[in-house]
Amino acid sequence: MKAVKFPDGTMVPALGQGSWHMGERGSDRRAEAQALRLGLDLGMTLIDTAEMYAEGGAEVVVAEAIAGRRDDCFLVSKIYPHNASARKLPMALDASLRRLKVERLDLYLLHWRGGVPLSETVAAMEKAIAQGKIARWGVSNLDVDDLEELGAALPDCATDQVLWNLEARGVEFDLLPFCAGRGMPVMAYSPVGQGGALLRNPALRAIAARHGVTPAQVALAFVLARPGVIAIPKAADPAHVRQNAAARDLVLTAEDMAELDAAFPPPRRKRALAML
């Protein structure tokens, strides 16, 4: 399996699992946890969640999924911006750890930028590392200028998790090269889009038909083809999980890539950072 290296040398699979929208209905939680467990079985051992998702409900689902398998999982969660202060971050982190039923996160991210100074958040993250509650920290939904503001702390930032898919390619102009130049992997959320519009695109469907795969697998293979990128699609049913896993074996040709560029033009100038 293709792997991606964090700045500290830790290797993780390039294809992980997301949990956005999980835990919103209690009746679905067991099936969602089983889907995540299947993903672990198939080698998608990085699981991403957040205190925002279902207001902690997704973390509860993840806890069920990784029960008895903590050592098999690289666990990522994210903190609300309004909780990312010196006073509130320890409390928010402890609450996430309780919901996840673990003693430490492998990676803890600032979900997006809010009113708390980045320097204060970084200091609180570093304190959590010293206490053994997180192994490393990173950010989400931050653009190049935000990352540059980290200054001397930038080398300690493990990742930037951003929206990136065929419909949202703005990060290719500057953010992806910026992170690659510093050995910082990027985590791509919603790599197959939202709402299904992307997957109905005629060019994407034609490429999928040519390879005998689904449009979603083509969209995912496009993201996975770029070095230093970790894709975290969410799947809540076994068939979808297996399709995501199979996308690792799909190699897009130069012709495929040219057709995708024609249908979804790459950026030629700086764009505002897209977010969901």
Strand partners, 139: 110, 160
| Domain locations in the chain as residue ranges | 12-190
pLDDT (0 to 100) of residue 26: 84
What is the third-level CATH fold of 12-190?
A: TIM Barrel (3.20.20)
Q: Tens-of-pLDDT digits for all 276 residues of the chain?
A: 799 999 999 999 999 999 999 999 888 999 999 999 999 999 999 999 999 999 999 999 999 999 999 999 999 999 999 999 999 999 999 999 999 999 999 999 999 999 999 999 999 999 999 999 999 999 999 999 999 999 999 999 999 999 999 999 999 999 999 999 999 999 999 999 987 889 999 999 999 999 999 999 999 999 999 999 999 999 999 999 999 999 999 999 999 999 999 999 999 999 999 999
Is beta strand 11-13 parallel, antiparallel or unpaired with respect to 3-5?
Answer: antiparallel
Dist CA 218 CA 89 (whole Å):
39
Q: For the packed helices 254-263 and 215-224, what is the interaxial angle rounded to 10 degrees?
A: 100
Binding-site residue positions for substrate: 111
Per DSSP, the three-state class of 74 is strand
| 48 phi and psi angles, rounded to 5 deg | -110, 135
203, amino acid identity: A
- What tokens appear for 53 in the block? 């998702």
Q: Please count the other Cβ atoms lying within 10 Å of the Cβ belonging to residue 99.
A: 20
Q: Catalytic residue numbers?
A: 53
pLDDT (0 to 100) of residue 35: 97
Give the DSSP H or E segment for 31.
Answer: helix 29-41
72, amino acid identity: D
